[in-house]
Amino acid sequence: MDFNRASTAVSGFNKWVGWWLLLVVFISGFFFRFAPSTLSLSMQQELNLSATALGLVASMHFWIYTFMQVPSGALADKFGTRNSALLGGGVTTAGALCFGLASNLPWLLAGTALMGLGLAAIFVALMRYNTQWFSRHTLVLSATMLFAALGSVIAQSPTAQLLIWFSWREIVLFFTVLILIASLLMVRFLTAGPPAQQRVAQGDNWAVLKNKQIWLLFVCVAATNGTLYAFLGLWAIPLIVDGFQVSATLAAQYSTTALIVYGLGSLLWGWVGERVGAHKPVILATAVLAAVTWAVLTYSNWSLGWPGMALFLLLGLSGGPVGVIFAAAKDAAPPQNVGFAIALVNMGAFLIAAIVQTGMGVILDVTSPTPQLGDYQLALQLPFFVSVLGVAAALMLPGRSS
């Protein structure tokens, strides 16, 4: 019997099982990130939550997830992908259970905070796992984001339909059980990494912090993904409902379509990046696309129907290069600091998402108690400004950035 061949087959099987288990938790994280907008009415009615309290619950995930990116990256580089994933899965399960069984606001906040904490570790573990096990990093990272986008899509129209038959608690607890099962299976199937990469000396994270390219990528992902998450996660549906006096169900079709295109675009841009053999052209093209789309949304007299749908499609497409950006971050950092570098870049998306969501709310409160399309367009100047910064950052990337 060829023991080397058998060992390789088992290793290959475990590699894919481990990837899918990490992906299940990651997809669930995207669900919990976008679900509050869909579950909000049911949660408000049952727990008697004010709009301010609900906003605090929704934003808590973003803030915790954002500020735990760098610590999670450092811990993953020090203790390894497997340990980081197991810890993240356990904490995420506890948070989801706390959220689903919450009887008041403090328990809701505790649950969403724990989920943000655990999912930060899961993100770093998954990105690190991809770079350890797969040679076609750009395509695999992009495929990962494609599948992850399913969670955000499920959190929109499908969840709205599920609320007809199930309570918001039952939906949350279903995902809790899913995360728990995946986390338990990780104990059996998730390995530390390929033998050649299991013993890599810990590097100097300060070198990553001083790397100009990493910070440029930080701005790029903030401009394309941070603005997208902020808008689709909270303000897209209110803009359409208040600006065009249509139902929330119709408005949700626009944001759902944008999220589907975002997922498919992740795979498309990953494939383009591999064909071109460089990251910068894809990052620059999508940064320009994002800036142009935000400009039209902000300053033109657009309408619903095919013009509005086209704008949402382009916005979703412009957010697709996230896998390419992570691959560029991986190539810009030493192997022993990959987790830290990708986590630092990813922090840009969620920091800007939290800031833009809050900033747009402040602008809308100041302009009018009953905002119209013009008021929303005034607030949209904030993501437009960030997208312009993204174009500038993309232009300053090294020539090939590959």
Query: What pLDDT digit, counting tens, does each position of 121-149 carry?
Result: 998 888 888 877 777 667 777 778 888 88
Query: 279 and 317, same structural domain?
Result: yes
> Based on the domain organization, do 58 and 116 belong to the same domain?
yes
* pTM score of the predicted model: 0.80
> Which DSSP string do the residues of 331-346 spell out, in sequence order?
HHS-GGGHHHHHHHHH
Provide the residue range defining the domain that includes 247: 202-402
Distance of CA 30 to the CA centre of its chain: 6
Which pair of structure tokens corresponds to residue 29?
């994280």
| Position with higher pLDDT, 334 vs 372 | 372
Q: How far is CA 102 from the centre of its chain?
A: 25
Do 134 and 223 lie in one domain? The reply is no
47 and 185 in a common domain: yes
In a domain, 228, yes or no: yes
Please give the pLDDT value at position 204.
Answer: 67
Is residue 217 in some structural domain? Answer: yes
**In degrees, to the nearest 5, what angle opens at C-alpha 358 toward C-alphas 352 and 363?**
120
pLDDT reported for residue 52: 67
**Residue recorded with tokens 């990494």:** 193
Calculate what percentage of the chain has a pLDDT beyond 70: 91
pLDDT for position 130: 82
**For residue 48, how far is the Cα from the chain centroid?**
29
Q: Are 130 and 141 in contact (CB under 8 A)?
A: yes
Are residue 229 and residue 300 in the same domain, yes or no?
A: yes
Among the three residues 165, 192, 219, which one is the final residue of a domain in this structure? 192
Q: What are the pLDDT digits (tens) for 201-258? A: 455 677 788 889 999 999 999 999 999 988 887 788 889 988 999 987 788 889 889 9
Identify the pLDDT of residue 90. Answer: 94
CATH number of the domain where residue 331 is located: 1.20.1250.20
Under 8 Å between Cβ of 387 and 291 = yes
Distance CA 92, CA 145 (A): 19
Are the CB atoms for 153 and 263 separated by under 8 Å? yes
DSSP secondary structure string for all residues of 338-398: HHHHHHHHHHHHHHHHHHHHHHHHHHHHHH-SS--HHHHHHHTHHHHHHHHHHHHHHHTS-
Residue 22 sits in the same domain as residue 134: yes
Q: State whether 209 and 170 are in the same domain.
A: no
In this structure, the answer to whether residues 173 and 247 fall within a common structural domain is: no
- Residue 21 domain flag: yes
58 or 355: whose pLDDT is higher?
A: 355
Considering the domain architecture, whether residues 53 and 95 belong to the same structural domain is answered as yes
- Residue 6 confidence (pLDDT): 40
Domain boundary among 138, 171, 192: 192
Whether the CB-CB separation of 16 and 112 falls below 8 Å is answered with no
Structural domain contains residue 28 = yes
Mark which of 149, 172, 192 sits at the end of a domain: 192
> What's the pLDDT score for residue 5?
47
Give 10's pLDDT tier (boundaries 50, 70, 90). Answer: very low
Residue 34 CA from chain centroid, whole number: 10
Confidence of residue 2 (pLDDT cuts 50, 70, 90): very low
Please give the pLDDT value at position 9. 47
Residue 344 belongs to a domain: yes
Supply the pLDDT for residue 4: 45
Among residues 120, 142, 117, 80, the alpha carbon closest in space to that of 338 is found at 80
Q: What is the pLDDT of residue 51?
A: 62
pLDDT in tens, 169-194: 999 999 999 999 999 999 888 876 66
- In this prediction, residue 7 carries a pLDDT of 42
- Whether 197 is covered by a domain: the verdict is no
Based on the fold, state whether residues 181 and 213 are members of the same structural domain: no
Q: Quick one: pLDDT at residue 390? A: 96
Average pLDDT over residues 256-267: 89
Domain check: are 222 and 281 in the same one? yes
Instruction: Name the domain count of the chain.
Output: 2
Rounded Cα gap, residues 97 and 292, in angstroms: 42
139 and 286 inside one domain:
no
